[in-house]
Chains A and B, each alone.
Chain A
Amino acid sequence: MGERLFVIGNEAIGWGALEAGCEAYIGYPITPQNETTEWFAAEFPKRGKVFIQSQSEVGSINILFGAVATGYRAMTSTSGPGWGLMQEGMSHLTNGEMPCVISLVQRGGPGAGTTRHGQMDYLSAAWGGGNGGYKNIVLTPASVQETYDFVQLAFYLADKYRNPVIVMTDGLLGQMAEPLELRTFDFGPLPKKDWAVRGRVNQPDGVRRAVSAMQGLMPTPPHPPYIAFLELLKVLDEKYERMKEAEVRYETYLTKDADLIIVAYGYTARVSKESLKVARKKGHKVGMIRLQAVWPFPYQIMGDMASKGCRFLVVEDSLGQLVEDVRIGVQGKTEVHLLGALARHDPSDGGMILPDSVLNEIYRLMQ
């Protein structure tokens, strides 16, 4: 068993990145993820790694582009409005096929909204908030340990597909302290980063490399060799299809005999599980699908369960974003209900969707 720590989710991001061999972190202050930036500021320079506090999130995401263009592992983290500023960069990182990790600690919106928790950036992360339509794997941990594990997985997946990977938590998971076991994973072999810029004399074959965020518009031989826009689209499409095939991640809980399936991720999944246990004790056949990744989305299992006649209850701390994907999955075959941010227990920004609210909704639907 590895060393055990008692840390908050935002610090677990740092420990995960360190374990994954991340060499650089770029960040800009924004609540509720400042502990991540501060962790890297304290831990990276003394290990000879790069820490940069940028001038904005636009700066962070573009410095990240340059950092990963050299082939090293690097990441940034942000929340709410900062995530908005990064969208152009996300689109260009995807165009340039730059493997990198972005930690998104969700808060409430729109606008400044709240500096505390929320699950209101689902659509911009899972569906792509920048221009042009693109896909990134979005991992959604629900504990401090899983945050740590998923940051490592994210670095692996980014390198595997040469595509940005988002680790999406929320203000509650970020600020919450839990025991953390430091552990390593063997995810398997990865392709060599023979496309990276490092100075021509440092290239093993002595041939220069070029990476670009303008693939499709400007041909950049010889790495990669796309010469037309459609070639780029084909390469990206093929990559997205491979991800959809291999990277769907979810956990089922008591779904076998369930009449009602709760779908949730992050903190609302933790909350819902508490309610589900109580409802089960009262004899209600409730199950849960906890999403560990919201892109690629497990449409298949939603469709299968809908065909069996299960009804769905989506619990998410927003006005309804995840629920749209669930509706696509069930294809109108069954009812899909939403318990959203309006069910928060308190009107201030400290309000949460608590187990009581979820339980009452379960009772209402099971009547």
Chain B
Amino acid sequence: MKKELVVGLPKLWVHHLGERLECPGCQYPVITRIIYDVIDELGIEGQTILICSAACGFGIILTTPMDAVGPNHGMGIDVATGVKRLRPDCFVVSFGGDGDIAAIGAGAFVNAAQRAEKYTLIMVNNGHFAMTGGQLAPTTLMGQVTTTTPEGRGPSMGYPARMPEMIATVQGTAYSARGAANTPANYMKTRKYVKRAFQKQLDDVGFSFVEFLSACPTGWHMTPRQSIQWIEEKMIPALPLGEFKNVDSLE
């Protein structure tokens, strides 16, 4: 029987546990752990360059034992393009928030996929701009209260952006999926998505993208448990989990 690691921290993780900056109940460390875990498994830590643009995920640059670049807000997609084109031998993961990728970086996002840039982009979606205090993001759910939708998001503020579905329609995209970690089963599925996305890069197929629904108790004014329930009851129905594209060739 094939053994699979289901508990314990990734090798890359442990030395830096004390330095993390996230709020209690935040799921950024969960997706970071999944990424590290898969990098561990694939044995590519030494070749990896992490790109973490300005958002809650920027903290990774402080603690990661891997080479890292910290660009400005929204620019992690373009910066990853530059890094990967100059170092095609390196494994490049760009890591950003939903404001980062679905709002200010949306043009870069679409065009990186159009050009079939061969790196992996992870979007951590907590449904709002968390770092700046909780404003509306393109991904905010209908009715969701943010500091710039005090009455809840209504149609006058548009509708939630579905980034993996959108990018799946682009020919340069090799892989697109949405995962969550609200249950152990979803955690394991998300881990599979991340691994498949990484494999597309290693196989030099095309652009690979995974969205992760991430709890933000601080920004949502909820307890960690309520946040997980919110993901289950509100986010997943609006932003369904699963794979939207998985191809081995772009032709």
Q: Which residues of A contact B (CB under 8 A)?
A: 23-24, 26, 50, 52, 54-56, 58-59, 62-70, 72, 74, 88-89, 92, 96, 197-203, 208-214, 218-221
B66 near A66 with CB under 8 A, answer no
Cross-interface CB contact of B67 among A56, A72, A198, cutoff 8 Å: A198
B103 at the interface (CB under 8 A from A): no
Instruction: Mark out the residues of chain B between 102 and 143 whose CB falls within 8 Å of any chain A CB in the assembled complex.
Output: 107-108, 110-111, 114-115
Q: Which of B40-48, B147-155, B192-200, B237-245 contacts A (4 or more CB under 8 A)?
A: B40-48
Bound Cα distance from A200 to B114, whole angstroms: 30
Answer whether residue B205 sits at the interface, using C-beta atoms and an 8 A cutoff: no
* Contacting pair A66 B81 (CB below 8 A): yes
A62 touches B83 (CB 8 A): no
Q: How far is the CA of A199 from the CA of B45 in the complex (A)?
A: 8
Contacts A/B (CB < 8 Å), 12 sampled: A59-B107, A62-B82, A66-B83, A69-B69, A70-B82, A96-B71, A197-B69, A199-B87, A200-B45, A210-B67, A210-B70, A221-B62
Which A residues touch B110, using CB under 8 A?
A: 55
Bound-complex Cα distance A62 to B54 (A): 13
Q: Could you tell me the distance in whole angstroms from the C-beta of B102 to the nearest C-beta in chain A?
A: 16
> Measuring CB to CB, which residues of chain B are less than 8 angstroms from any residue of chain A?
45-49, 51, 54, 58, 61-62, 64-72, 75, 78-87, 89-91, 107-108, 110-111, 114-115
A66 to B72, CA, bound (A): 11
CB contact under 8 A between A64 and B82, given known A92-B71, A199-B90, A220-B61? yes
Apart from A54-B111, A58-B75: 9 A-B pairs, beta carbons within 8 A: A59-B78, A59-B107, A62-B71, A65-B71, A66-B80, A66-B82, A200-B48, A212-B69, A218-B58
Contacts of A26 in B (CB 8 A): 82
User: CA separation between A220 and B54, bound complex, in Å?
Assistant: 13
Chain A residues lying within 8 Å of B85, measured Cβ to Cβ, are 24, 50, 52, 63, 66-67
A325 to B114, CA, bound (A): 45
Q: A199-B90, A201-B47 are contacts. A219–B107 as well, Cβ < 8 Å?
A: no
A88 touches B72 (CB 8 A): yes
- Known contacts A26-B82, A67-B83, A201-B46; is-contact A62 B108 (Cβ 8 Å): yes
Which are the 10 A-B pairs with shortest beta-carbon distances? A66-B82, A201-B46, A212-B70, A62-B78, A55-B111, A67-B82, A66-B79, A197-B67, A63-B82, A66-B83
B70 to A200, Cβ gap below 8 A?
A: no
A74 touches B82 (CB 8 A): yes
Contact (Cβ within 8 A) B65 A63: no
CB distance from B113 to the nearest CB of A (A): 11
Tell me the bound Cα distance from A200 to B68 in angstroms.
10
Q: CB distance A199 to B71 under 8 Å?
A: no
- The smallest beta-carbon distance between B188 and chain A, in angstroms, is 28
From A95, which residue of chain B is reached at the shortest CB distance?
A: B72
- Bound form: Cα–Cα A50–B110 in Å: 21
The CA of A60 and the CA of B64, in the complex, are separated in Å by: 27
Q: How far is the CA of A248 from the CA of B129 in the complex (A)?
A: 45
A24-B88 Cα distance, complex, nearest whole Å: 13
Instruction: State in angstroms the CA–CA spacing of A58 and B110 once bound together.
Output: 14
Give the distance to chain B from A59, nearest Cβ to Cβ, in Å: 5
A55 closest partner in B (C-beta): B111
- Contact (Cβ within 8 A) B79 A69: yes
Kindly list chain A residues whose C-beta atoms are within 8 Å of the C-beta of B79.
Answer: 62-63, 65-66, 69
Known: A74-B82, A199-B48, A210-B70. A220 touches B62 (CB 8 A): yes
Cα–Cα, bound, A50→B108 (Å): 18
A66-B90 contact in complex given A52-B85, A199-B46, C-beta closer than 8 Å? no
Please determine whether B67 and A59 come into contact, CB atoms closer than 8 angstroms. no
Measured in the bound complex, the distance between the Cα atoms of B14 and A93 in whole Å is 32
- Report A-chain residues with C-beta under 8 Å of the C-beta of B62: 218-221
Of all chain A residues, the one with the shortest Cβ separation from B104 is A58
Contact B67 A212 (CB under 8 A): no
Give complex CA distance A221, B71 in Å: 15
Residue of B nearest to A60 (CB): B78
State the CA gap A52–B83 with chains docked (Å).
Answer: 12
* Chain A residues positioned under 8 Å from B49 (CB to CB): 197-199
- The reply to whether B71 and A198 contact each other, CB–CB distance below 8 Å, is no
What is the minimal beta-carbon distance from A265 to any residue of chain B, in angstroms?
31
Residues of A within 8 A of B71 (CB): 62, 65-66, 92, 96, 212-213
- Which residues of B are found within 8 Å of A74, using beta-carbon distances? 82, 86
In the complex, the answer to whether A92 meets B72 with C-beta atoms within 8 Å is: yes
- Which of B54, B67, B70, B71 has the most chain A CB within a 10 Å cutoff? B67
- CB nearest to B89 among chain A residues: A199
Known contacts A198-B67, A220-B62; A69 and B46 CB within 8 A of each other: no
